[in-house]
Amino acid sequence: MTTDNNSEPTVVAIDGPAGSGKSSVSRAVARVLGFGYLDTGAAYRALAWLVNGSGIDREDVDAVEGILPTFDYTIGLDPDVVVVTVNGEDVTDAIRQPEISASVSAVARVPHVREHLNTLFRSIVADTYVPGVVIEGRDITTVVVPDAPVRILLTADEAVRAARRSLELSDTAVRVTAEATGDQIRARDAADSQVVDFMNAAEGVVTIDSTSLNFDETVEAVINVIRAATEKEQA
């Protein structure tokens, strides 16, 4: 799985439900391995930010699709400094606000939006010249990069996911209770499950259940899967 500047990067695809730790774990794994890190959810959030700012009704599918040609999106792959821009404006912090979280599912379930952004994700990976890239989000293992040499479904019990997300938010300007976070996670899962199956591993996808694992143990479990795949390919 080793690569150089003249070969394709090793692609690690990580799927999972809301609050499963996809982003934080993927970022940590990328940092340890010296890989790039691609948060696909940021693109949906950025598009929701553009839709909201344009005064478009996010439930109007035609209007949402119509704004795609004006969606000039960039994201950095450095796991330590992820900068997101839309039409040249830095929206890294803006896309994490509660109003964006409330809007993103409506935008993400538009089929043409998913097709458009999936093409964008593949082009970003194709233009990556680091040894590898960890790409995480919804339907990554089955639709975006189904041929990735390493595909992982990261999950945990709903109560655990809610508690972790609540703790994560308590360290930011957004403070919510675990109960409220649980309601948000259930709503997000219910909405997104209408579009993609992120709770069941497809054939060839390794499931890692982090319910009884702490953060470091989860990162180690993911790295072990990557190393096992590396050894298998080199055998």
Instruction: For residue 156, give the 3-state DSSP assignment.
Output: coil
φ, ψ at 14 (rounded to 5°): -125, 120
Instruction: For residue 15, give the 3-state DSSP assignment.
Output: strand
For residue 23, say whether it is annotated as part of any ligand binding site.
Answer: yes
Q: How far apart are CA 37 and CA 23, in angstroms?
A: 9
For residue 193, say whether it is annotated as part of any ligand binding site.
Answer: no
For residue 22, say whether it is annotated as part of any ligand binding site.
Answer: yes
For residue 18, say whether it is annotated as part of any ligand binding site.
Answer: yes
For residue 132, say whether it is annotated as part of any ligand binding site.
Answer: no
φ, ψ at 207 (rounded to 5°): -95, 130
How far the first Cα of the chain sits from its last, in Å, is 11
Q: Which two tokens stand for residue 20?
A: 């499963």
Q: How far apart are CA 197 and CA 139, in angstroms?
A: 7
Confirm if 76 and 83 have CB atoms less than 8 A apart.
yes
Measured at the alpha carbon of residue 208, what is the angle toward residues 96 and 109, in degrees to the nearest 5? Answer: 40
Show binding-site residues for ATP: 16-24
Q: Which residues are annotated as a binding site?
A: 16-24
